[in-house]
Amino acid sequence: MKNGIHCIDSLGFERHGDKENSLFFEEYLVRLLEERDRMGLTAMIHEIDALMITVDPGHSIQYIAELALMTPYHYLVTLESESHWTHVLRIDLDSPDILLREVKDPNLRGIFRSLNEVYPVGARKPNSRYMGEILRVDNLHDVVSMQQEREFHFFSQDEIRKLEFPGNLAVSKPSPYTHNIVAYLERAPSELRVYSLGMSVINQDVQAAYQAAKDLQKRLRIDDLLMPLDHLATRVYSQNREVAILEYLSWTSYYFWGAYNIKDQNSSTNVTKSVHGLAESRSPAKVFTANNTPYFVNHLEKLPSPTETFVRNYGPRLHHMAIAVKDGERDGIEHIDYVVNAIAEQGKGFLLDVIGSKEQGLKQIFSNASEHSSLIIEYVQRFGDFDGFFTRENVAALTEAAGVEEGVKAI
C-alpha cells in the first residue's frame, strides 16, 4: 500500500504472441502504464459496466429480440428522452449491461452519425454503430481531472445533455483511431447501476418481443448454455494498430496481453485485458485487429486484406461481440454446436461452420452481421482448463470468413 492505493503493476503480466511492435510502442507502453499506475488511475478505474450501441429508427425492438435469443441478455427498462429511446439490457450485476439507443427521427444529425457517413457501407445504416464502453470508477471528478491534465478530451456537460447521454456519465470524445468513446460512471461495487436519463418506462412492444424470444430460447434449451461476453473486437486501420492500443490503455485499467501475427490473412490480433484480475465475464477482453500492411501496397504485395477492407467500408469500429458458451455437451453434442444448430434452425445465418476442436482447446464461430447493428456475434467454447485466448488457425479462418461477408466487398 502506498498513499492508500494498492500497488498495481500493469507491466507485470506475461506477454503472449509473436507480432512485432515498433520501438515507439514498446517505449510508450512502459511509460504510459508506469505513469498510469503511479498516478493511481489504474487503481481508480475498474470493470466495463456497460456497452453502448446505437441503431437506426425502427430497429431496436427487433435487435432486442435478436439479442434475447442469441445471448443471455434480458430487457430491463427503457429510458425515454426527447430524441432517443435508450433500452437497458442486463444479464446481472456481475457482467456488463448493454445500453441500446434508438434514434427516433431519421433526419437527426450528429457526431455519431457523421462517423458512419464517410464510409460506403457504414453510411447505409447511418445511425447504427457500436459507440463504446462505460467503465466503473471510484471517483469521477478525480479520474476526469487527471485525464484532462493528460490532454484527453471529454464532451462538456452541456454536450452530454444535448446528445442525450445519461447525465451521470463523463464521456470522452470519440477516438480518432477506433471512433469509439469511453465513458466513466462513478459507482461503489455495492451500489446499483443507475443511468440518469429521461423517463423510465417499460415499453410493452419491447417487452412482448423480448419475452417471445426468451421463451423460444428456453424451448430450444440453449438459455442455460449461453454465458456473458468474453471479448469485444475492434478493427482499425493498419497504421493505427499501436496507437489504438496505447490510447485504450490510457483510458482504462487494461494491460497489453499480447498480439499474434495472422500471416495467412495479412493481419494481427491484439489483446488487452483488465489488470484487476477480473474474469472476462465481468470485464470482457478488448481485442484490436488490424491489417499488417495498408491498402495502398496491396497492388504491389498481392496479399489478402480482409481487415483493411472492412475498415475502409465501415470505418474503424467494433466488429464483433463474443459470447462464451458453457463447457460441456448436451445430447452428445458439444454445447457450441448445440447452440449454433438451434439458432440456425430459426433462420439465423453464420459466416462459416464451427471451427476448432476440444483437443485444440476451443471452438468458435461467427454469426452473420446483424441487419440492425452490423455487429457479428461470435460464440466461443473453451474446453477444460484451456486458458489460451485463441488458436492461430481459428483466427485465420474467422478473419477469412468475415472477409467474404457480403458488404465487405463493396469497394
Which positions touch Fe ion (CB under 5 A)?
A: 233, 322, 378
Residue 365 φ/ψ, nearest 5 degrees = -155, 155
- Grid cell in block for residue 131: 459507440
Nearer to Fe ion, 167 or 388 (CB): 388
Nearer to Fe ion among residue 45 and residue 322 (C-beta) = 322
Nearest 5°: the CA angle 322, 404, 363 is: 35
* Alpha helices per DSSP H over 287-385: 298-301, 306-314, 335-345
Nearest to 90 by CA among 210, 179, 201: 210
For 236, the grid coordinates are 482499425
Quote the CA–CA distance of 176 and 115 in Å, as a whole number: 10
CA–CA dist 220, 214 (Å, integer)? 10
Q: What angle do CA 105, 108, 109 make, to 5 degrees?
A: 160
Measured from the CB atom, is 101 or 282 closer to Fe ion? 282
CA distance 313 to 311: 5
Question: Smaller CB distance to Fe ion: residue 47 or 378?
Answer: 378
For residues 209 and 78, the answer to whether their CB atoms sit within 8 Å is no
CB of 233 to Fe ion, least distance (A): 5
> Please, what is the minimum distance in Å from the beta carbon of residue 291 to Fe ion?
16
Helix (H, G, I), strand (E, B) or coil at 110: coil
Least gap, CB of 222 to Fe ion (angstroms) = 20
- What is the nearest approach in angstroms of Fe ion to the Cβ of residue 105? 34
Partners of residue 364 on adjacent β-strands: 355, 380
Is the CB of 41 or the CB of 311 nearer to Fe ion? 311
C-alpha cell at 265: 490473412
Positive or negative torsion for Cα 116, 121, 125, 128:
negative
Rg of the Cα atoms in the chain: 20
When the beta carbons of 103 and 376 are compared against Fe ion, the nearer one is: 376
Using the minimum distance from each CB to Fe ion, give the nearer residue, 37 or 280: 280
Please give the DSSP secondary-structure letter assigned to residue 270: E
Q: Least CB distance from residue 322 to Fe ion, whole Å?
A: 5
Least distance from Fe ion to the Cβ atom of residue 231, Å: 6
Quote the least distance from Cβ 147 to Fe ion, whole Å: 28
Between 249 and 285, CB nearer to Fe ion: 285
* HSE value, Cβ hemisphere, 13 Å, CA-based, for 357: 3
Min separation Cβ 125 and Fe ion, Å: 22
